[in-house]
Amino acid sequence: MIHPTAVIHPKAELDLSVEVGPFVVIGEHVTIGRNTTVGAHSVIEGWTRIGEENRIFPLASVGGVPQDLKYRGEKTWLIVGDRNIVREFATIQPGTVTGIGETLIGNDNLFMAYCHVAHDCVIGNRVIMANGSTLAGHVLVEDFAILGGLSAIHQYVRIGESAMLSGGAMVGQDVAPYTIAAGDRARMRGLNIVGLRRRGFSRELITILKKAYRILILSKLRVSDALARIRAELPGFPEVNHFVEFIEKSERGICR
């Protein structure tokens, strides 16, 4: 059902099952998939492709012009997967030609009220961004990460799989997978044990990841030496391999 007060460009492509609330504005280059709902007063614009069964709540802004002074109206994309929830006043913006040219959102994510996802970000699956959390441009957030309310992530930072940021965390460097980061100029504070248990990680695997974390943080070794020790002492676990490889690829360094 489309409310009669909605303003939808005739070239926009909406599946017949899409529901559009009152006073919604949908632009020319927007595509919206099956069973998606768009709440009152929301604006969806730009070159934006939205998948199936998403819920966009009132007053959200999706696909608006990036907050990048270098942007000159180039054709860049926002691509959103399936079953995402975008709550009130959240803002999600497309890529830029100085980045990867698109912002990519996976599936089953929750963007709470007043969240901001800037240009050229890549977000995986089952990510939770709590109220007021903010991503600068070019940020990578891996699957199952949780970003606490009012946390802020510097541009080009990467947040690892199943990492958790505390409320108000100011993150200027990469956060390793499976860990917790907290504080102004955030530092790692331990392993995200509750999150790993909720995902069904075995007791054995959590114990192994604890050992990897302790080697990285408590051994006082240089990062490269700590990673070499982890590889030598804890081989054969894909999650440990991901932990090590994520850190090895860091360009901004790990907050520890």
- pLDDT tens digits, 26-65: 999 999 999 999 999 999 999 999 999 999 999 999 999 9
Answer yes or no: is pLDDT of 68 > 90.
yes
Give CA–CA dist 164/128, Å, rounded: 9
Please compute Rg for the chain using Cα positions.
Answer: 20
User: Would the CATH topology of 7-138 be identical to that of 196-248?
Assistant: no
Model pLDDT, residue 30: 98
Pairing mode of beta strands 179-182, 187-191: antiparallel
What residues contact residue 6 under an 8 Å CB cut-off, 6+ apart? Answer: 20, 21, 22, 23, 24, 25, 26
CATH number 1.20.1180.10 is the correct assignment for the domain at 196-248: yes
Answer yes or no: is pLDDT of 236 > 90.
no
What's the average model confidence in pLDDT over 146-168?
A: 98
State the CATH architecture for 7-138.
3 Solenoid (2.160)
What's the average model confidence in pLDDT over 74-92?
A: 98
Model pLDDT, residue 17: 98
**Cβ–Cβ < 8 Å for 152, 158:** no
Question: Is the CA virtual torsion 230, 127, 100, 31 positive or negative?
Answer: positive
The helix/strand/coil state of 114 is: coil
Average pLDDT of the residues of the chain? 97
What amino acid is encoded at 235 in this protein? P
Answer yes or no: is pLDDT of 235 > 90.
no
Question: Which residues are designated catalytic?
Answer: 119-120, 137
Order of all β-strands in the sheet with 61-62: 7-8, 25-26, 43-44, 61-62, 91-92, 116-117, 134-135, 152-153, 170-171
Phi-psi region of 194 (alpha: psi -120 to 50; beta: other; left: phi over 0): alpha
- pLDDT tens digits, 89-132: 999 999 999 999 999 999 999 999 999 999 999 999 999 999 99
Q: Where are the alpha helices (DSSP H) in the chain?
A: 193-198, 203-218, 223-233, 238-248
Domain boundaries, the chain: 7-138, 196-248
Percentage of the chain surpassing pLDDT 90? 98
Q: Give the predicted TM-score (pTM) of the model.
A: 0.97
Give CA–CA dist 58/68, Å, rounded: 25
